[in-house]
Amino acid sequence: MASGTFSRRVTAADIAKSLGVSRATVGFVLNNTPGQTISEGTRSRVLAEAERLGYRPHTAAQALARGRSRVVLLVLPDWPIEYSMGRNIEEASLALEEAGYSLVTYTRHDSSRTRPLWETLNPDVVMGMLPFAAADVESMRASGVPHILPSPDVPPSWEQGASVTVGPSLQVQHLVELGHRRLGFAASSDPRLSKLVEARSAAVRAEAARKGLPEVAELAVGIGDTSAAAGAVATWRADEVTAVVAYNDDVAAMVAGAAIRSGVSVPSELAIIGHDDSPLAGMFVPSLTSVHLDDAGFGRQLAAIALHAAEGLPLPDADPAFAARVVRREST
């Protein structure tokens, strides 16, 4: 505190008492309330005393008075924050900031014993990457959250969305165009990613079926588990798999490294395609073919959905998922 007088938060009542003016007068000045006949001298005295005492606005109280906090709370699933998601969040934050909103991210853990952040933050919008549990929806509504996305009143369908299916379809199409018929899918073994892995796996199998390919040979590969990666490569080779669709670039790198250490040539004996086009894809040797996503577009879309809910602003016409493309490198 500037004066050292107060060991707690300085309030408008403290300023009023110090100056001998009414609490209402202080409130009108601090909130710049229009239509009030307060002299410039009194206004200057209030502002100077507020600064001297170290007054800081109570944002939660202001939000309650306005009925809006201009905060969007993005509830993240308990996933590792990989390159693509990090870029999504960064771009969404920038887009919301331009519109006068703050983006706050929050990971909700099943084992958490703390109060959920929406109960204390008073957000205008709570967004989730996945549908919310019924208990969380009840808590949000009891806390007065005006906008919950995805809407709990609409059955979840994210698994079928273009953002999940387009990339895996492009991976399969690229390998088929190169003449591969027997494909493997390298899944991540991280249990936190099980829902997303299942969705991408389903999209790979569906595209392979459309191309008339035999059943895709799926095996799990853990990041850092070199023995599992080597075992997967050996199994695929025994099953005459000639190309592998990887869940993401990290998994693709694990498979490529295991193949090379096993004496399997990439791509002549085993072609590999990743997903996300992270910096790793270009730095790895051999460089990894990958699906490039419009991470900035996804972030802006996230922000646009929040602003549509909060202010009725229009949604973007184009789905950024359809801007996905294959970046061909050495691994295919």
pLDDT score at 229: 97
Most confident of 44-58, 87-101, 154-168: 87-101
Give domain status of residue 304, yes or no.
no
pTM of the model: 0.75
Higher pLDDT, 283 or 160: 283
Looking up residue 126, the CATH number of its domain turns out to be 3.40.50.2300
Give domain status of residue 62, yes or no.
no
Give domain status of residue 310, yes or no.
no
Q: Where are the strands (E) in 153-203, listed by range?
A: 183-188
Q: Identify whether residues 140 and 179 lie together within a single domain.
A: no
pLDDT at 178 over 80: yes
CB 167 within 8 A of CB 293: yes
The residue from 89, 124, 156 where one domain ends is 156
Q: Identify whether residues 119 and 168 lie together within a single domain.
A: no
Q: Which residues contact 14 (CB under 8 A, 6 or more apart)?
A: 6, 53, 55
Q: Given pLDDT bands bounded at 50, 70 and 90, which one contains residue 305?
A: very high
CB 271 within 8 A of CB 244: yes
Q: Identify whether residues 136 and 37 lie together within a single domain.
A: no
pLDDT at 187 over 60: yes
Q: Identify whether residues 151 and 274 lie together within a single domain.
A: no
Q: Given pLDDT bands bounded at 50, 70 and 90, which one contains residue 62?
A: low
Q: Identify whether residues 131 and 216 lie together within a single domain.
A: no
Give domain status of residue 308, yes or no.
no
**Of 289, 283, 281, 282, which Cα lies nearest the Cα of 326?**
289
pLDDT cut 70: percent of the chain above it? 91
Q: Identify whether residues 183 and 204 lie together within a single domain.
A: yes
Q: Identify whether residues 45 and 83 lie together within a single domain.
A: no
Q: Identify whether residues 144 and 181 lie together within a single domain.
A: no
Domain with 39, as residue range(s), is 12-57
Q: Identify whether residues 218 and 288 lie together within a single domain.
A: yes
Strands 125-128 and 183-188: what pairing? unpaired
Q: Identify whether residues 166 and 216 lie together within a single domain.
A: yes
pLDDT score at 8: 65
pLDDT digits (tens, 9 = 90+) for 205-230: 999 999 999 999 999 999 999 999 99
Q: Identify whether residues 146 and 224 lie together within a single domain.
A: no
pLDDT score at 158: 46
CB 168 within 8 A of CB 200: yes
**Of 231, 252, 159, 259, which Cα lies nearest the Cα of 201?**
159
Task: Domain count for the chain, please give it.
Answer: 3
Q: Identify whether residues 174 and 267 lie together within a single domain.
A: yes
pLDDT score at 61: 53
